[in-house]
Amino acid sequence: MDKRPLTLRTYRRLAIAAAPFASLVLARRLNRGKEHPVRLGERKGETAATRPAGPLVWVHGASIGEMLAAMQLIDRIRDEGFAVLVTSGTVTSAVLAEQRLGPGIIHQFVPMDSPPFIKRFLDHWRPNLALFVESDLWPNLIMESAARRVPILLVNGRLSVQSYDRWRLAPRTIAALLDRIDICLAQTAADGERFANLGAPRVVTTGNLKLDMPAPPANGLQLAELQTALSGRRVIAAASTHPGEEAAIVEAHRRLRATFPNLLSIIVPRHTERGAGLLDIAKAAGLNAVTRSRGFLPDRGIDVYVADTIGELGLVYRVAPIVFMGGSLVNHGGQNPIEPIKLGAAVLHGPHVRNFTEIYTALDTAGGAAMVSDTGRLAVQIGAWLTDAQARENIAACAQDTVAALGGALERTLAALEPYLMQLRLEPRQRHA
């Protein structure tokens, strides 16, 4: 008798029924730039890649943020001698994988959440351990993996209050999924409590892996080229911005340019395909702007430089001593401030930072960041830091101390994984004993 809740059984049947239409869905997503044109088969569990010999650890993260958080963990597992398969669901994360994943680490797009595709994926890769990063809990992916007795761990687990409230409306459904996860390694005690309340049988608070992330890399030649173009200019950056925030940055620049005539604002949109549209916002404000994706560098006549490329935040953070973190003036939940802090930038953010509540609360309490609630306060705070370099440097130093004090999640996560990795080491010996 199938003991799964009716919701999961219904979802499974609908996913199976929808499988024949997958090609149509993928074609539509491809036209919108949301799929890789030569890797569509991976979304159906098809691949030309070969499974490596020996135990295979599978790490899954939804997109760039989750992959970045898990990057050091992936490297450490690989250094232990295990083959690693990394899956994600976005084109931008695939670009990041190509740039950052080391040799011997395989990247694939995660299959669509339909049993035929997941079975094909699992038949081919036969993972021995599954690590799901943060909160990307696809029902069929979890159910099919658990049915094959693949141990599933949630690492860097995060569950917002909003998600928690939604899952409470379907308690048997989320409990059935969490019951199939061996252990939830939560970012914070509050995250852990929410997971436990929803039915997770084992929860451990290990901290946020993003706090242990190294500073993002930068190409040396490209950095030197950009620094030369910016010589003598004052630079601010707005990173991972969302619609509505770019207009605020442009307006802040317009208010500040009389006082700081050599000011350059670099805008890095969260979704790079929006780059061309940001030129219109700048031009409507009477500012000159170019996009990096078209090969431009910011010469003296440029006010706004739109860095609409992937994997180059390391460049931006190295040339901008002041960084506004996007997703926080609009109600998105905020973006991760750790990378600019590790490169010595002073960080500004809006009031909507629920995705990183612990980090921003610690920073704001310690005086390691500044919260601004609107365009006017954004312009005032940027102007103050441009005027007083010492105050800006003190903020940045305080932020680095705060982040260092909150670290340690990587080692705690590895300690929690060690029994599972030890079992994988023993299994080949037991088979040949």
Positions annotated as catalytic residues are 66
Give yes or no for a contact between 318 and 225, defined as CB atoms under 8 angstroms apart.
no
Rounded to 5 degrees, φ, ψ at 243 are -50, 135
**Rg for the chain (alpha carbons), in Å?**
23
Q: How far apart are CA 92 and CA 98, in angstroms?
A: 10
Structural contact between residues 47 and 126, judged by C-beta atoms closer than 8 angstroms = no
The span from the CA of 311 to the CA of 198, in Å, is 36
Spatial neighbors of 172 by CB under 8 A, at least 6 apart, are 5, 7
Side-chain-side CA neighbours of residue 378 (13 Å): 28
267 phi/psi in degrees, rounded to 5 = -115, 125
Residues 6+ apart with CB under 8 A from 333: 160, 327, 352, 353, 354, 355, 356
SS3 for 282-326 is: HHHCCCCEEEHHHCCCCCCCCCEEECCCCCCHHHHHHHCCEEEEC
Which strands sit side by side in the sheet containing 289-291, from one edge to the other?
Answer: 289-291, 304-306, 263-269, 234-241, 322-325, 346-349, 370-371
